[in-house]
């Protein structure tokens, strides 16, 4: 049994090496290179590939694997929207992802960023760095005084709601698919319009499926309360970033935190220090004292990385053994 792993980062190696040590019957090789039609040849002679990347799994890439006799692919991440499923069906691929690796990682990051916006820590940190130790006018707001609208009540959204309730915030929620516990607490509103009208803060935990594309846009922002705070640690394509910038310029949006960006591939997870920064919109947002930008790091904790590697490698092994892992993708 042989598994080839692509795009292995240095921080993933301890978890991968621990898995290898626990499975001496499996031959595992890995590279830091991403899977594409050219690097696919590295997996020649292997039974399955293990991957994590923002590059698309195109027909050309899947064809290259198919020609090597490989039709088993385990993703170390959640998202599958970058897979050519028509080609995957044609080549009879078995695919898995890791839908739940650590909901707490994303939920905690989003609420930490929300808290930082409310307490204006970016502006205060800048003052302190200049040895300006005066309080005013950098006054904050208390979480318990906010009505927080949670869009999406899956695993991550529900953890975020527990954290928010710990702060004493009033929580309201919207989801097409109601969770029984949230329903029993009476926290759902019937429409997004109701959530927009009531929420002082809006935080997103929904997938980037076509139905949700640019759900935060000029029209939806217009329905929100003046001075709304928006946090997006979910998917970049949920937001029309031009409309968000316009909302910040007008003051309709008072504060904004983003961990994801629709055009983040090739921009995030790159060291741009001492180089020309290629995205004027993100440069503008980074410079604002009421905006917090993190480069898709909400997931990035030791626990999450361990689970992503371990669960995906277990799934690869299950596929090779002719089994269907619980995290197999139905498509």
Active-site positions? 235, 264, 296
Tokens of 54: 């923002």
Of all helices (H) and strands (E), which one includes residue 122? helix 121-129
Q: How far apart are CA 164 and CA 156, in angstroms?
A: 12
Please name the residues in contact with 74: beta carbons below 8 A apart, sequence gap of 6 or more. Answer: 48, 49, 50, 51, 95, 96, 97, 312, 313, 315, 316, 319
> Could you tell me which of 87, 81, 32, 3 has the C-alpha nearest to residue 238?
81
Rounded CA separation 196/12 (Å)? 40
Q: Quote the strand ranges of the chain, DSSP E.
A: 2-5, 27-30, 48-51, 72-75, 94-96, 147-151, 170-174, 201-204, 228-232, 253-258, 291-293
**Spatial distance between the Cα atoms of 309 and 13, rounded to a whole number of angstroms:** 9
Contact assessment for residue 298 and residue 233, using Cβ atoms and an 8 Å cutoff: yes
Give the integer Cα–Cα distance in Å for 283 and 103.
29
Element (H, E) at 248: helix 241-250
If one counts every other C-beta atom within 10 angstroms of the C-beta of residue 140, the result is 15
The Cα 188–Cα 181 span in angstroms is 11
Considering only CA atoms, give the Rg of the chain.
22
247 half-sphere exposure, CB direction, 13 A CA radius: 28
Q: How many Å apart are CA 56 and CA 226, to the nearest integer?
A: 39
């Amino acid at each position: 049994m042989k598994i080839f792993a692509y795009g292995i980062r240095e921080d993933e190696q301890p978890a991968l090496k621990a898995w290898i040590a626990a499975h001496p019957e499996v031959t595992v090789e890995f590279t830091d290179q991403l899977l594409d039609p050219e690097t696919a040849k590295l997996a020649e002679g292997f039974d399955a590939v293990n991957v994590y990347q923002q590059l698309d799994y195109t027909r050309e890439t899947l064809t290259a694997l198919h020609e090597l006799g490989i039709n088993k692919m385990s993703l170390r991440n959640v998202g599958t929207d970058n897979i050519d499923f028509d080609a995957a069906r044609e080549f009879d691929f078995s695919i898995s992802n890791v839908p739940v690796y650590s909901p707490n990682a994303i939920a905690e990051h989003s609420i930490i960023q929300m808290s930082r916006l409310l307490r204006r820590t970016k502006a205060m940190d800048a003052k302190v760095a200049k040895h300006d130790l005066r309080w005013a006018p950098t006054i904050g707001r208390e979480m318990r005084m906010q009505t927080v609208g949670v869009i999406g009540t899956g695993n991550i959204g529900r953890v975020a709601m527990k954290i928010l309730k710990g702060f004493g915030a009033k929580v309201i929620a919207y989801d097409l698919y109601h969770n029984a516990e949230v329903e029993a607490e009476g926290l759902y509103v019937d429409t997004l319009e109701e959530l927009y009208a009531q929420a002082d803060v809006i935080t997103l935990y929904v997938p980037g499926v076509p139905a949700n594309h640019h759900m935060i846009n000029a029209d939806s922002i217009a329905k929100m309360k003046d001075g709304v705070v928006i946090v997006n640690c979910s998917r970049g394509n949920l937001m029309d970033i031009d409309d968000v910038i316009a909302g910040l310029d007008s003051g309709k949006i008072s504060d904004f935190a983003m961990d994801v960006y629709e055009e983040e591939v090739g921009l995030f997870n790159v060291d741009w220090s001492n180089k020309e920064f290629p995205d004027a919109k993100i440069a503008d947002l980074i410079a604002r004292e009421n905006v917090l930008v993190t480069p898709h790091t909400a997931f990035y904790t030791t626990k999450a990385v361990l689970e992503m590697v371990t669960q995906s490698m277990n799934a690869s092994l299950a596929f090779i053994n002719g089994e269907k892992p619980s995290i197999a993708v139905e498509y």
